[in-house]
A and B are shown apart, each in its own frame.
Chain A
């Protein structure tokens, strides 16, 4: 019975260690803890081009993540991309004249939505729309614009 007890204790320790490793990996080494809590509100923003922005991409103010992109859809009439943002309830005082732009972290990094707070006294509420937006900068169109412009200058 004595040896049996030791075996049980050791296997119990092993099981707990394994589960602890799983929990540590899930919370520290994946995006699990990054999801915003239950207390959130939603705002939408319209962009003419979202490039490769994905669901779940972070929403940042001043580089700090305050929420995430919940859904991206296309307006069937105006052909604008409608991006629904889910913002943490702790940041409830974001002014209504805040501007949203789609930015890239680094040169090769992922796309995220950057918010630039304005100066209005009223705060965005659930269901509001951010009116001032700036679309993603697509490298290809920049390059083609550059080529086109220099071509025209040489032609003149």
Chain B
């Protein structure tokens, strides 16, 4: 299995790699069995990539909410419209910052560890051993991690948003003295369930799939050396961050 980066033409290389990655995705999804064993390993991966990312997501969400409220109140006060703070914070969070920041944090926290783990498995010939035992490593190793990322990221984004709203509540109601009734009623009348909330969830599902696919792919096709594992980890973070932001723009322009 050649690393796809070593193909001939420089120009065609990214296209070939995209195709290779797509085929990898299809091979992975073809291994979907809905068996008990597979469910257990997905749950285990959800614990590793999802549950253990929870604390960082909660802390980041909380402070993002606080700083958003701070900036929004500062800017809105000039127009005497600081009552609108919850609307501004809510729209920003649900539509953009929640899904995007969660996916970026997830890429840094879990994407790297997936890529490094699979890369190291390859470097220590564990994947070759599996193939010798007629176990499909893509189905056994890659698929649970991919599915776990796909499930975890939307849930993490929801936790991020919840804690960000909490941070905004504490800052604007507790510190700046915005009326709580106005704060909540602006949220409940101005944030649309269909457009803002569901749109944000769609985004984070796509981002979750994207990040975990990239992590699993780069880990699986890492060069089986310590340097190769390092390269795979770096490329995972860089490419997933860039693609998250590109996909975010594309999805936003279709969702609106």
Contacts and interface: CB of A to CB of B under 8 A. Distances in A.
A22 B81 contact: no
Interface in A41-62: 56, 58
Given A4-B44, A21-B159, A22-B158, 10 more contacts: A7-B47, A18-B159, A19-B155, A21-B161, A25-B161, A29-B161, A31-B193, A32-B197, A58-B189, A108-B84
Tier of interface size on chain B: 20 to 34
Contacts of A17: 54, 155, 159
Interface string A1-37: 0001001101111110111011011101111111000
B202 interface: no
B188 A31 contact: yes
B51 A22 contact: no
Contact of A11 (B47, B84, B158, B190): B47
A110 interface: yes
A22 B46 CA distance: 17
Interface in B45-98: 46-47, 50-51, 54, 81, 83-84, 90, 94
Given A21-B155, A21-B159, A7 B44 contact: yes
Contacts of B158: 18-19, 21-22, 25
A108 B81 contact: yes
Interface in B15-43: 40, 43
Interface of A: 4, 7-8, 10-15, 17-19, 21-22, 24-26, 28-34, 56, 58, 106, 108, 110
A15 B158 CA distance: 11
- Nearest 9 Cβ contacts at the A-B interface: A18-B155, A14-B51, A11-B47, A21-B158, A32-B193, A21-B162, A22-B158, A11-B46, A30-B193
A17 B162 CA distance: 11
Interface of B: 40, 43-44, 46-47, 50-51, 54, 81, 83-84, 90, 94, 151-152, 154-156, 158-159, 161-162, 165, 184, 187-193, 196-197, 201
A25 B188 contact: no
Q: Is the interface of A mostly helix, strand, loop or mixed?
A: helix
A21 B156 CA distance: 9
Contact of B197 (A7, A14, A30, A110): A30
A146 to B, nearest CB: 23
A94 B201 CA distance: 40
Contacts of A56: 192
Given A21-B155, A110-B189, A13 B90 contact: no
Contact of A26 (B151, B184, B197): B197
A31 B54 contact: no
Contact of B156 (A18, A25, A26, A32): A18
